[in-house]
């Protein structure tokens, strides 16, 4: 750290990413409230075995934010278009594996259903997937997901970004409350505030929630079309102390992934890759190493 920034034009936007290491390519997809820095502790543990590419998703970090304000156009399919274009532009020597968390897991699934032949395998931390269903809005869970409704308000970004202190308070709530390891973000909080105080970055992240709102409501109501199971090799490592994406919700994963291995990191919360990077790196290396041996 710091890692060198790279930029390329793909799918009509300028995408920012870190690129480190050598070996089988792995693309690291962040969640919210995150950007590529969420992988900073993981990269040095894997860069001797893998080529690691950590992009900022559309609307996040230093990638383009092509919308003037609130929009519902940042759907998983649009972000998967960005990812597919990024992979093609990178001209990688072999199909990459995807390592994804939270928002990134939805993007990875969209691409995996569309172009499974273009990917080597999937590794998820705390995975957003259709099997969560109505549990998102269970009465006892509403106090955890209030932010998803707040982010729909046109005034949300202006309120949070009114000052550096208001932004710090807002981000610190999630980085602290969602972490299972106390102090996991203490040395990174100011970098998080720096990032989200950049023009458009708060609204860029909030636009994700506007864009998935209709789809999420359909899933909660049981009205969403059935999602085709994904046949790619898939590994899930779920933080056992995550209060917002509960580890118990992994129960329906076998309905949606046919070649699946799942385990729980009991001491970690929402951000396994930041809270327990050594454990996360070991699991990633073992999974993709085994795929390499089988190929």
Residues serving a catalytic function are 102, 209, 270
**Do 287 and 263 contact (CB within 8 A), yes or no?**
no
**Do 133 and 219 contact (CB within 8 A), yes or no?**
yes
Residue 102's region, left for phi above 0, alpha for psi from -120 to 50, else beta, is left
**Type and span of the H or E element at 8:** strand 5-10
**Type and span of the H or E element at 101:** strand 97-102
**How many helices, marked H, and strands, marked E, lie in the chain?**
11, 8
Choose among 250, 237, 233, 234: nearest CA to 277.
237
- Tokens linked to 174: 């999630």
Residue 12, class by beta-carbon neighbours within 10 Å (0-12 exposed, 13-18 middle, 19+ buried)?
A: exposed
* C-alpha span between 142 and 183 (Å, rounded): 25
């Amino acid at each position: 750290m710091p890692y060198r920034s790279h930029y390329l034009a793909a799918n009509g936007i300028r995408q920012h990413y870190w690129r480190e290491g050598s070996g089988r390519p792995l693309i690291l997809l962040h969640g919210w409230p995150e950007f590529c820095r969420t992988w900073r502790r993981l990269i040095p543990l894997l860069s001797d075995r893998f080529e690691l590419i950590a992009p900022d998703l559309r609307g996040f970090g230093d990638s383009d934010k092509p919308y003037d304000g609130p929009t519902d156009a940042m759907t998983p399919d649009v972000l998967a278009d960005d990812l597919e274009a990024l992979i093609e532009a990178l001209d990688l020597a072999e199909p990459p594996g995807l390592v994804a968390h939270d928002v990134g897991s939805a993007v990875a699934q969209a691409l995996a259903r569309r172009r499974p032949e273009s990917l080597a395998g999937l590794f998820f931390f705390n995975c957003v997937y259709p099997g969560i269903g109505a549990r998102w809005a269970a009465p006892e869970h509403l106090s955890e997901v209030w932010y998803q409704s707040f982010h729909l308000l046109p005034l949300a970004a202006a309120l949070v970004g009114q000052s550096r202190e208001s932004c710090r308070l807002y981000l610190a709530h999630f980085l602290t409350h969602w972490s299972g390891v106390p102090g996991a973000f203490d040395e990174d909080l100011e970098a998080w505030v720096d990032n989200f105080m950049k023009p458009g970055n708060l609204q860029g992240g909030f636009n994700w929630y506007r864009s998935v709102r209709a789809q999420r409501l359909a899933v909660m109501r049981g009205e969403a079309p059935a999602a085709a199971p994904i046949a790619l090799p898939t590994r899930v490592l779920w933080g056992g102390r995550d209060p917002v994406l509960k580890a118990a919700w992994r129960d329906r994963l076998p309905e949606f992934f046919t070649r699946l291995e799942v385990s729980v990191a009991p001491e970690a919360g929402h951000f396994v890759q930041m809270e327990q990077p050594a454990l996360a790196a070991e699991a990633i290396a073992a999974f993709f190493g085994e795929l390499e041996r089988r190929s």
